[in-house]
A and B are shown apart, each in its own frame.
Chain A
Amino acid sequence: MTTLKWLAAKLAAAIGVVWLVATLVFFALRASGDPLEAILGGPGSQASEESVRAAVEAYALDQPLVSQYLLQLRDIATLQLGDSFARRQPVADLLWAALPSTLLLAAIALVLAWILAVAGAVVQSVSRGRFGRAVGSVMRALEVVASVVPQFWLGAVLIMIFASSAGWLPATSTGNDPASLAMPVVTLAIPIAGFLSQVSRDALDTADIAPFATSARARGASELRVLLRHTLRHASLPAISLSGWAFGSLLSGAVVVEVLFARPGLGRLLQQAALARDVPVVIGAVVIVALMYVVVVIATDALELVVDPRLRRAARARRAPDVAVGS
């Protein structure tokens, strides 16, 4: 398969995902409530007859649902995301304003999760003897706790310790200031780190007893060299492919973290819009998130090909790799 074909297949899948997501969101929102409410100042509005008529006309709400859906798809396809019902501003402007803050948060959190995960896996891998086994069990327990800890709880505890009691960090987060980013980033990163760490440790353990590691040791390579040159690279593979998933989960975690730390961003925008049934904003935000997710998944697939020559060879040979061959 050529690179071009590979990319085309991935793009087709991406368009499919975005279409599916947009369709689901459109019908879910419209099935459960009247968008008129959002336009006329929220639910329970006592808007006059004239206002209702004007709003229905302005937003084509008098047309059949299928026509409205097709209009929506046309707009997405031409990247016209429309105007927010509630804020009467272009959705693209709202998304554009919110996106950088969330991306920054997610990107730093992903890097931190990776650092924590690799560090955790390495510490366990190099710990030997009875002490090492004890360290290993503690680390494994920590991994499990980290990967299941609810973010709203973790964030609340961090705020209590570092803002309320100690007063070292602000309870709320804005912009790029490291002090205000610290707690949201840690809150987002810890569950992901726990998960990535479990996966890469398993891979590291497998690689550690693989023939290529044994032969490297037999050639007189130090443990450190074995780790850096051979096993770590091997162990990073499953974690790389999981990074796409991790990025998606960071974006959804951003809703919790942004609300908790009062940080402006895509997650909070999405949450507010969903509560207000602001259909164009919800669809716009979800489409953007889906697009980003797809891009990241494609990127991680590509990265895997770079890191693991076997996959490249397999792709060229159009067949799955049969045996794991040492590097």
Chain B
Amino acid sequence: MPLLRRAVSALALTSVALVAAACTPAPQTEPEAVAGGTLVYATGDAEPTCLDPHVGGNYPQGLISTQYLEPLFGRDADGEIVPWLAESGEASEDGLTWDIALRDDITFTDGTPFDAEAVKVNIEHLQDPDTASSTGYLSVEQVEEVEVVDETNVRLHLSTPKSALLEVLSQQWSAMQSPAGIERGMDENCQAPIGTGPFIVESWAPQQSVTLVRNDDYVPTNPEIDHEGAAHLERIEWRFIPDAATRQSALASGEVHVIDNPLPADIAAAESQSLGHIDAPRPAAANRIELNSAQAPFDDALVREAFIRAADPSPGIETLFAGTASRSYSALSSAEPFALSDEELFRTDPDEAESLLDEAGWTERADDGTRMKDGERLAVRFPVSTNQSTAAEQSLFEQIQSNTAAVGFDVELQPTDLSTWYGALAAHEYEAVSAPYTTVGPDVLRILYHSDGTVPAPSGYFANNAQLTDPELDALLEDALATTDDAERQQLYTDAQRIILDSFTVLPLYDQQNHFLTNQVTGVGTLHTISTPTFVNAQLTE
């Protein structure tokens, strides 16, 4: 039903868009930016259960906390780490000690000074089991001790080297909060975390909105701020509008100024409706299908290659996403500087797929055309999380199902809710799966493809869905994490990606989609870390 509903609304909106396009008035002069005012943001992501991204740690928390919490480091447009609340970060020769120098001119919005002690409190907060941090915890997992050297210097002592430390510290999920705010306890801190960002959490009306007010004393740490002092906007009203068509209507009618998660058709129509469009793909992993190499039939590399030769996702991506998503040939996001892309490896060739399957011994045929071997059907269970996969993506999977059926695969798409989906993965009841993963930096490859990732976390979760257990790959990923030399690191990640792509366990599809549409506002940007929007330069227009 949600699929049908989305389809109906998309269809309905497209027709409205066409009508609107037909009667667009003559182009007007560039609208004037105004000072102050309230920007209304409408998110389609889930409403956070806690506004402190240390608790849990998912993308919706990353989105909103970008407005009031800032991390120690950030990234520039080229993917280079740049200091934010920190001045610099240096690793020792053995990679086990990190010296981080801090700015001395920053104060949290409750008046607490930002200093070395605050960094210590934050890292310990992330590591405290009572915080139940999942994402932020991973970034400081290897930190054994936080040593306060003096007011503006901290030294992190690690149990194992971690070259990705500054990258993961740049994530919103390990951003810095006022120690006094944390001290209030989780209940209060979840309602209104206290940071150093351009805005301050004023109030939260559940299911409705979070009200943010300008931090008048904001000291710019974001290097991309284009003016002196505080943000232009006076307030931000952060609204939760779960239905995509409703969000789009609210944007078109001027009720809200910025929306996230727009439908592909709405993105395509944005220009003709004079709406702004920001395409900010999420970093780390690309959206991809992973083939479970730990059990039949994909424990046979020939069968995996055959699947990839037959899948042919490109035409589907082009049409279903209305030209708003580009095909990826890499395990990593195009936002990652170290991403290795290999178009030739993923070429479509159904004839080759047929001969590969013949070679692998799947030569018999069932009545419905499915290939058989020793009485076994060439069946592929493909659980699909309807919470994570958009309508367009689900349609793409249906096309892949049909394309691979032509060479004899029987792909069974299993649409489920998120919990059931994780349940199927944990029980290894899948041969193919598409799982998003957002973090910062190429170390995501270790999370997704190191053999350690086949062992479930205490909560039952494991990330290595391809079930790759390759000692050579493990070694490359570990060495890449340990090295402090950038060139060497890049070489190691390139070699690791070569192994991953050549294994045919990964079929890259496209970058993790992250689009924003805007109306009557200028200066909206996105961070180069997890691609969340920032309104530090934003101004409403008349």
Contact = CB atoms under 8 A, between A and B. Distances in A.
Contact of B207 (A33, A40, A171, A265): A265
Nearest to A56: B458
A32 B49 contact: no
Contacts of A277: 419
Task: Name, among B47, B129, B130, the residue most crowded by chain A CB atoms within 10 Å (CB to CB).
Answer: B129
B207 A51 contact: no
Interface in A93-112: 94, 97-98
Interface stretch (A113-121, A162-170, A221-229, A300-308): A162-170
19 contacts: A37-B422, A41-B58, A46-B463, A47-B134, A54-B130, A88-B49, A152-B9, A156-B5, A156-B9, A167-B253, A171-B249, A172-B241, A174-B208, A259-B243, A261-B246, A262-B241, A262-B246, A268-B207, A275-B387
Interface string A27-53: 000001110110111111111111111
Given A156-B5, A269-B207, A277-B419, A164 B13 contact: yes
A159 B458 contact: no
A150 to B, nearest CB: 8
Given A160-B249, A164-B252, A277-B419, A41 B5 contact: no
A44 B435 CA distance: 10
Contacts of B135: 46
B186 A88 contact: yes
B286 to A, nearest CB: 18
A170 B459 CA distance: 43
Interface string B454-484: 0001111101000000000000000000000
B56 A45 contact: yes
Nearest to B419: A33
Given A51-B129, A88-B187, 20 more contacts: A34-B423, A36-B460, A41-B55, A41-B57, A41-B134, A43-B421, A45-B457, A46-B457, A48-B129, A51-B133, A51-B459, A54-B130, A94-B206, A97-B206, A152-B9, A156-B246, A160-B16, A171-B255, A172-B255, A174-B208
Contacts of A55: 132
B245 interface: yes
B5 A152 contact: yes
Contacts of B417: 275
Contacts of B35: none
Nearest to A101: B207
B250 interface: yes
A42 B252 contact: no
Given A37-B459, A51-B129, A156 B245 contact: yes
B242 interface: yes
Chain B residues touching A, range: 35 or more
A159 B249 contact: yes
Nearest to B58: A42
Contacts of A248: none
Interface of B: 1, 5, 8-9, 12-13, 16, 19-20, 42, 46-47, 49-50, 55-58, 129-135, 137-138, 186-187, 190, 205-208, 239-243, 245-246, 248-250, 252-255, 387, 417-423, 457-461, 463
Contacts of A165: 16, 19-20
A18 B105 CA distance: 59
Contacts of A87: 49-50
Contacts of A98: 207
Nearest to B56: A41
A47 B55 CA distance: 10
Contacts of B255: 163, 170-172
A154 to B, nearest CB: 11
B8 A153 contact: yes
Given A46-B134, A52-B459, A32 B420 contact: yes
A48 B249 contact: no
A317 B372 CA distance: 74
A33 to B, nearest CB: 4
Contacts of A167: 253-254
A268 B460 CA distance: 28
A163 B458 contact: no
A36 B242 CA distance: 25
Nearest to A35: B419
B420 A46 contact: no
A75 to B, nearest CB: 21
Contact of A262 (B58, B243, B461): B243
A82 to B, nearest CB: 15
A157 interface: yes
A196 B169 CA distance: 60
A36 B459 contact: yes
A78 B418 CA distance: 33
Nearest to B60: A42
Please indicate which of the listed interface residues A32, A49, A172 has the most CB atoms of chain B within 10 Å of its own CB.
A172
A125 interface: no
B458 A275 contact: no
B444 to A, nearest CB: 13
A37 B422 CA distance: 10
Contacts of A36: 459-460
A265 B242 CA distance: 13
A166 to B, nearest CB: 9
Contacts of B460: 34, 36
Given A48-B129, A165-B16, A171 B49 contact: no
A262 B242 contact: yes
A163 B57 CA distance: 35
Interface in A152-199: 152-153, 156-157, 159-160, 163-165, 167, 170-172, 174
Contacts of B242: 259, 262, 268
A147 interface: no
Nearest to A152: B5
A86 interface: yes
